[in-house]
Amino acid sequence: MKDITDKEYYTNSFHYDVRKAPTPFEKIDFEKDYPKYSAGGFIHYCEYPNLKQNPKALEAVWDYAYDRIGYLGTNTPIDQCFECGFKGEFKPTAKGFECPQCGNHDPATCDVVKRTCGYLGNPNQRPMVHGRHIEIASRVKHMSLGNDANDIARQ
């Protein structure tokens, strides 16, 4: 079934489809009524580009979420390459993630952090199942800086 069983992973719980790009506010509004049906626990999260230059944007989302939902994760790129010094977001490959500058994917010389199942994991040190990897690689940002790959994809 198109967009349901053909994508190689299940959309986690009540989460908005990871391939779509609502704003953080739209995502929170869509998901806010579902936790009471999630007896196994829940987390809301939003994907961001590096917002070190705009912490007010994160604060605006956190303020908005405060009275609406119980638990909000903030996913922002913190991957690091100890070979070339790159800091940011590693590029997904067929089996893991690699440094976009030098191609490094050796877990001994890089640090890759992704929200895996509510918790943060390092997929290069501890690879995940194929479907989860595809799901993470399919995630788009819920906020943009006006110059990232997601903006290009949205045009």
Identify which of 53, 30, 36 has the alpha carbon closest to the alpha carbon of residue 45.
Answer: 30
Q: Does residue number 87 form part of the binding site for Zn ion (CB under 5 A)? A: no
* 85 φ/ψ sector (left φ>0, alpha ψ -120 to 50, else beta): left
Give residues 46-85 in contact with Zn ion (rule: CB under 5 A): 81, 83-84
Nearer to Zn ion by Cβ, of 31 and 79: the residue is: 79
Nearer to Zn ion by Cβ, of 29 and 111: the residue is: 111
CB of 96 to Zn ion, least distance (A): 14
Spatial distance between the Cα atoms of 57 and 23, rounded to a whole number of angstroms: 12
CB of 149 to Zn ion, least distance (A): 18
Q: Does residue number 99 form part of the binding site for Zn ion (CB under 5 A)? A: yes
Nearer to Zn ion by Cβ, of 29 and 83: the residue is: 83
